[in-house]
């Protein structure tokens, strides 16, 4: 994958490979990719729970933490999908 140019919007290179892997998917065990996704999903669940009970003054920060965790979970799911597809 070519280097991503961060001085443009959207960053050139990111759209060429939406998962943006820097490793060979078939070289990683599927169970490790699955574990990474499970941990990311649990982090997102915990962040969502924390956001739901956060005090009014902390809700914006708690929501930002939740969104970041949700994005990590989406990314882990995409990497898992690519890893599984590499073995089919």
| Residue 50 belongs to domain spanning | 25-85
Say how many domains are in the chain: 1
Q: What is the pTM of this model?
A: 0.73
d(CA 57, CA 19): 35
CA atoms in the 13 A half-sphere facing the CB of 79: 25
Give the end-to-end CA distance of the chain in Å, rounded to a whole number.
22
Mean pLDDT of 67-84: 92
- Which neighbouring-strand residues pair with 5? 12
Give the model's pLDDT for residue 47: 98
| 63 lies in some domain | yes
Question: Residue 50: helix, strand or coil by DSSP?
Answer: helix
Mean pLDDT of 6-30: 59
Give the model's pLDDT for residue 86: 86
pLDDT tens digit sequence for 22-74: 777 778 899 999 999 999 999 999 999 999 999 999 999 999 999 999 999 99
């Amino acid at each position: 994958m070519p280097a991503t140019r961060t001085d443009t919007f959207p960053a050139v290179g990111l759209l060429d490979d939406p998962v943006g892997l820097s490793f060979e998917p078939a070289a990683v065990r599927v169970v490790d990719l699955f574990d990474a996704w499970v941990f990311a999903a649990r982090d997102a669940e915990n962040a969502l729970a924390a956001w739901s009970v956060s005090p009014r003054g902390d809700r914006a920060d708690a929501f930002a933490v939740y969104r970041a965790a949700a994005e990590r979970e989406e990314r882990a799911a995409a990497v898992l999908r690519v890893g599984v597809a590499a073995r089919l």
